Amino acid sequence: MKTQVAIIGAGPAGLLLSHLLHLRGVESVVIETRSRADIEATIRAGVLEQGTMDILSEAGVGERMRAEGALHHGFELAFGGQRHRVDLHGLTGKSITVYPQHEVIKDLVAARLAAGGDLRFEVGAVSLKDIDTGKPGVSFTQGGERYAIEADFVVGCDGFHGVTRPSMPGEGRQDFQRVYPFGWFGILVESAPSSEELIYARHERGFALVSTRSPTVQRLYFQCDPADHVDNWSDDRIWNELHLRLENNDGWKVNEGKIFQKGIIGMRSFVSTPMQHGRLFLAGDAAHIVPPTGAKGMNLAISDVRILSEGLDSFYRTGGEALLNGYTETALKRVWRAEYFSWWMTSMLHTFQDASAFERQVQRAELDNVVASRAMMTALAENYVGAF
**CA gap 187, 203 in Å, rounded:** 19
Q: What is the arithmetic mean of pLDDT over 315-326? A: 96
Per residue in 254-308, pLDDT (tens digit) is 999 999 999 999 999 999 999 999 999 999 999 999 999 999 999 999 999 999 9
Per cent of the chain over pLDDT 70 is 100
pTM: 0.94
Predicted confidence at residue 388, as pLDDT, reads 67
Per residue in 11-59, pLDDT (tens digit) is 999 999 999 999 999 999 999 999 999 999 887 778 999 999 999 999 9
Instruction: Spell 97-134 as b/e; 16+ CB within 10 A means b.
Output: bbbbbbbbbbbbbebbeeeebbbebebeebebebbeee
The length of the chain is: 388
| Domain limits, CATH 3.50.50.60, in the chain | 2-46+100-173+274-345
CATH class of residue range 180-267+353-385: alpha beta
Predicted confidence at residue 42, as pLDDT, reads 80
Main-chain phi, psi angles of 157, to 5 degrees: -120, 35
| Residues 65 and 153 sit within 8 Å (Cβ to Cβ) | no
Q: With 0-12 CB in 10 A as exposed, 13-18 as middle and 19+ as buried, what is 322?
A: exposed
**CA gap 269, 179 in Å, rounded:** 6
**CA gap 107, 102 in Å, rounded:** 9
Per residue in 151-176, pLDDT (tens digit) is 999 999 999 999 999 999 888 899 99
Q: At the fourth CATH level, which superfamily is domain 2-46+100-173+274-345?
A: FAD/NAD(P)-binding domain (3.50.50.60)
Active site residue ranges: 72, 200, 292, 296, 384
For the cut 80, the answer to whether the pLDDT of residue 368 exceeds it is: yes
| Domain limits, CATH 3.30.9.10, in the chain | 180-267+353-385
Label residue 225 by pLDDT band (50, 70, 90). very high
| Residues 92 and 387 sit within 8 Å (Cβ to Cβ) | yes
Angle of CA points 225, 229, 231, to nearest 5°? 140
At a CB cut-off of 8 Å and minimum separation 6, what does 47 contact?
96, 97, 98, 198, 211, 295, 299
Q: At what angle do helices 327-349 and 297-318 cross, to 10 degrees?
A: 170
Q: How many helices (H) and strands (E) does the chain have?
A: 13, 19
